[in-house]
Amino acid sequence: MSELVEFLRARFAAELDDIEGYDGGWNDADGCWGIHVDPEFTRADVQAKKRLLELHPHTTMRQDLGEARLRVAYGPNWEKRLKRVDDVFCTTCHVEDGVIESSGQPCETLRLLALPYVNHPDYREEWKP
């Protein structure tokens, strides 16, 4: 699960890296195809996707074990905590009757966020929504 979050963060960072130094216009640096680059749009797009990601935090704790144990996963060192367990929960998507349910899969929202990167070598088939 945390690998999907890491994957998304890496893709978002790469998108921002790609526009570094561009002030807009056509990018034909490779001499093949002209691609219209709108850095302002790209920055807004990445910012929106990052906010969507933040709206789907994950936890390793079930809510029915007590609110005090429900720690949103994006706090300090959240990746290290998540890597210690296999089963994590999206605190947004997997709530039923006040109890966070385990799906065993990354939540569909994050999987949809990753879908445009399906051809990236680090994309995993099991992430397909």
Q: Which residues bind Zn ion (CB under 5 A)?
A: 56, 90, 92-93, 107, 109
Pick the closer one to Zn ion by CB: 27 or 109.
109
Pick the closer one to Zn ion by CB: 5 or 19.
5
Task: Find the shortest distance in angstroms from Cβ 89 to Zn ion.
Answer: 9
Tell me the C-alpha distance between 85 and 69, whole Å.
15
* Among the listed residues 78, 75, 73, 70, the one whose alpha carbon sits nearest the alpha carbon of residue 98: 70
Pick the closer one to Zn ion by CB: 43 or 124.
124
Task: Find the shortest distance in angstroms from Cβ 54 to Zn ion.
Answer: 11
The CA dihedral of 74, 78, 83, 84, to the nearest 10 degrees, is: -120
Beta-carbon contacts of residue 116 (< 8 Å; ≥ 6 apart): none
Task: Find the shortest distance in angstroms from Cβ 74 to Zn ion.
Answer: 13
Torsions phi, psi for 28 (to 5 deg): -125, 35
Alpha-helical segments (H) within the chain: 2-19, 39-54, 78-82, 108-114
Shortest Cβ contact with Zn ion: which residue? 107
Task: Find the shortest distance in angstroms from Cβ 44 to Zn ion.
Answer: 22
Pick the closer one to Zn ion by CB: 10 or 95.
95
